Structure 1
Amino acid sequence: MITRRMTLQGLAAAALLAAGMGAALAEEPLTVGILIPGSKSDKGWMESGYNGLVAARAKYGDKIKVQMIENISYADMGQALTQLASANKLVIGVGGQTQADVLKVAPRFPDVKFSIVGGNAGAERPNVAGYDVKQAEIAFVAGAAAAMLSKTGAVSYVGGMEIPSIVNAGKEFGNGARYINPNVKYFESYTGNFDDVAKSKEATLAAIAQGADIHYHILNLGLRGLEQAASEKGTHIIGSYTNYCGTDPLYLAYSITGVGYQVSYAIDQAVAGTWAPGYKPFGLAMGPEASTIAVCAPTPEMTEKLKAIMEDIKSGKIKVLEG
């Protein structure tokens, strides 16, 4: 009897120990590696992505553990992703420029989940999710807002790298402006680099010289050059990614492209155990956190017109390019 009682006690102790170990394992934080190729304070894409990370940290506290790498050259991106994948369960590349290297690194780490913010339909892999921000959609809406806000009937766009998603957004910005004003003058240029301040200023000054008074962009630190040009010449900007209305009189509106929303989404899904690979479009269909327009001092007519345009894009009545 004594032997049996001790055996039962031993089994009970073992069960308690196993339960304790299981609880400890369950409480291990999700390790997240995030690559922000540019500056997290660029007032653009990278800052929006960083803001999403900050929001996730505030939401989950010690349930997640984050390793971040920022300001990485294209040549070093693969090495940075490898470093992150070696130490984390989820790796997020903030920007379509990370996609090529993610697709090279991911097969070496089949147990790591990779999410690309700004990924496209070519990112399908068993452990890779590509989140398409659909910048061309909101660029069309921004173009419409620019045409409404312009006093000169001329608007401009400066993009960084001349790649399909950035070019398509530029084309749709022009299409949106022409949707409101068929006679609008539209100036479109590319600097070849998202961070080149001098080239973006030069491109904006050239457009201003031809009458442009509202400017749009897909830039990172290059935005500083656009701001310098607009400030010197008394013109205005429609910003991108995050609504900062009321913080800077240079900006009359912001197109919301939910970069930070997608960073938070990837972490939410991984924490919940519902993360899935494959292509996922965001854009206007995912709601205002993912994509919308914020005009800082709109008229009621402007608000209604822009709302109608967004509904027509969602329904397919207005068709826009991919990207």
Structure 2
Amino acid sequence: MAAKTPSLPLSRRAFLLSSLAGAALLGTAPGMVRAQDAKKLKVAGIYTVPVEQQWVSRIHIAAVAAQEAGGIEYTYSENTANADYPRVMREYAESGYDLIIGEVFGVEQEAREVAADYPEVAFLMGSSFKPEAGLANFATFDNYIQDASYLSGIIAGAMSKSGNIGMVGGFPIPEVNRLMHAFMAGAREVNPDITFQVAFIGSWFDPPKAKETAYAMIENGADLLYAERFGVSDAAKEKGILAIGNVIDTQADYPETVVASAIWHFEPTLGHAIAQVQAGAFSAEDYGTFSFMKEGGCSLAPFGTFEGKIPQEALDLVASRSDEIKAGSFAVEINDSEPKSS
């Protein structure tokens, strides 16, 4: 059973839990270790938000898929307050877990101190910082899905008629900034004169505030919105304009609104960690590249109800750029600086 730790979380992402990949249920998800290849590992997840939330849901889905495939035993604690996070890490480490995954953006130093006390346990944590050579059992990751964000920007640039796009984010931290910049670069490739309204709501989960911010952008001429936060697509739907999603695919909830979404796939990241632990080779590694498109870590969601409604020129550009990204002949710039309005 999963531990339920009540808290007032510093939310990072929000989403209705999407379905597990069918391939993962039938066998092994991309990058996952097969059960017969090695003993099952005990894996624990520690999350500051419910597992239904957007960013964390991608980690949880990958872990459940690995368990369904027979490679690991998985449990988790959700709604873990930052103040409680180190304690929960220690409890899992003391309980014999081989690999602990989670997100320590609000408790960076404390989490590393815990890891130092349990050198035999592997820790793979979402972080804005890099791993330390002197802390061999603490690896970091983040959702470097700039490739898919760039492609979604191409779609946005082609679909915006006013050439004015509104972008609503949570906080201007590296993982958000780089996705916004990539999106903007993709849109500019289609329309060099396109303009952007950029705002951050100062919260990871405040749909009403995100919605109000989006309303203001629409009033200021935006005819398409980049929905980094929940609430933005609701504003777009109510005002009859389009939106682009982030991390998850919400088109089923907004079939006439969300044109495209950049999707994060955590399976390659987790798969590599599992393999390294089983091989006795886990180290202070930066797992960021496992979110790249060429590693299978991100993709552009199916267009669904917008099939046949996107200009062919944009679709051709998306296809060619996708091939180039996967081949390594085209690299989307990683820009972690705070984006500004045009």
TM-score by length of 1: 0.78
Could you tell me which residue of structure 2 aligns to residue 80 of structure 1?
Answer: 88
Q: Deviations over 1:12-47 (max 9, x none)?
A: xxxxxxxxxxxxxx99742111012222223x2122
CA positional deviation for 1:233 = 1.1
Tell whether 2:47 aligns with 1:36.
yes
Q: Deviations over 1:252-292 (max 9, x none)?
A: 111022235433543354346554431132243533x3122
Corresponding residue to 1:278 among 265, 285, 292? 285
Q: Quick check: which has more Rg, 1 or 2? A: 1
Q: Secondary structure at the match of 1:68?
A: strand
Could you tell me which residue of structure 1 aligns to residue 30 of structure 2?
Answer: none
Could you tell me which residue of structure 2 aligns to residue 227 of structure 1?
Answer: 233
Closer/same/farther in 2, CA of residues 170 and 27 from structure 1, 3 Å limit: closer
One-letter amino acid of the counterpart of residue 319, structure 2: K
Tell whether 2:142 aligns with 1:128.
no
One-letter amino acid of the counterpart of residue 334, structure 2: V
One-letter amino acid of the counterpart of residue 73, structure 1: A
CA distance in 1, matches of 2:311, 2:109: 43
Could you tell me which residue of structure 2 aligns to residue 110 of structure 1?
Answer: 119
Q: Is the 8 A contact 1:147 1:184 kept in 2?
A: yes
CA distance in 1, matches of 2:42, 2:177: 35
Closer/same/farther in 2, CA of residues 278 and 308 from structure 1, 3 Å limit: same
Q: Equivalences for 1:13-24 in 2 at 5 Å? A: none
One-letter amino acid of the counterpart of residue 266, structure 2: V
Could you tell me which residue of structure 2 aligns to residue 15 of structure 1?
Answer: none
Could you tell me which residue of structure 2 aligns to residue 48 of structure 1?
Answer: 58
Corresponding residue to 2:262 among 252, 255, 259? 255
Tell whether 2:100 aligns with 1:91.
yes
Q: Deviations over 1:120-169 (max 9, x none)?
A: 53455300122343233433322222112223322222221222232232
Decide which moves more: 239-248 or 193-202. 239-248
CA positional deviation for 1:90 = 0.5
CA distance in 2, matches of 1:133, 1:203: 25
Q: Is the 8 A contact 2:115 2:138 kept in 1?
A: yes
Structure 1 unaligned spans of 5+: 1-25
Tell whether 2:300 aligns with 1:293.
yes
CA positional deviation for 1:64 = 2.8
One-letter amino acid of the counterpart of residue 238, structure 1: I
Q: Is the 8 A contact 2:151 2:318 kept in 1?
A: yes
Closer/same/farther in 2, CA of residues 27 and 291 from structure 1, 3 Å limit: closer
Structure 2 unaligned spans of 5+: 1-36, 338-342
CA distance in 2, matches of 1:244, 1:203: 20
CA distance in 1, matches of 2:86, 2:183: 33
Could you tell me which residue of structure 2 aligns to residue 188 of structure 1?
Answer: 198
Q: Is the 8 A contact 1:52 1:262 kept in 2?
A: no
Could you tell me which residue of structure 2 aligns to residue 9 of structure 1?
Answer: none
| Percent sequence identity over aligned pairs | 24
Q: Is the 8 A contact 1:262 1:290 kept in 2?
A: yes
Q: Secondary structure at the match of 1:253?
A: strand
Q: Is the 8 A contact 2:131 2:284 kept in 1?
A: no
Closer/same/farther in 2, CA of residues 241 and 165 from structure 1, 3 Å limit: closer
CA positional deviation for 1:113 = 0.1
CA distance in 1, matches of 2:143, 2:244: 18
Corresponding residue to 2:318 among 277, 287, 306? 306
Closer/same/farther in 2, CA of residues 312 and 210 from structure 1, 3 Å limit: farther
Closer/same/farther in 2, CA of residues 133 and 318 from structure 1, 3 Å limit: closer
Could you tell me which residue of structure 2 aligns to residue 173 of structure 1?
Answer: 183
Could you tell me which residue of structure 2 aligns to residue 319 of structure 1?
Answer: 333
Once superposed, what is the RMSD of the aligned Cα atoms? 2.9
Decide which moves more: 230-239 or 291-300. 291-300
Q: Secondary structure at the match of 1:31?
A: strand
Q: Secondary structure at the match of 1:192?
A: coil
Could you tell me which residue of structure 2 aligns to residue 71 of structure 1?
Answer: 79
One-letter amino acid of the counterpart of residue 85, structure 1: A
Q: Is the 8 A contact 2:125 2:139 kept in 1?
A: yes
Q: Is the 8 A contact 2:177 2:335 kept in 1?
A: no
Could you tell me which residue of structure 2 aligns to residue 213 of structure 1?
Answer: 223
Could you tell me which residue of structure 1 aligns to residue 12 of structure 2?
Answer: none
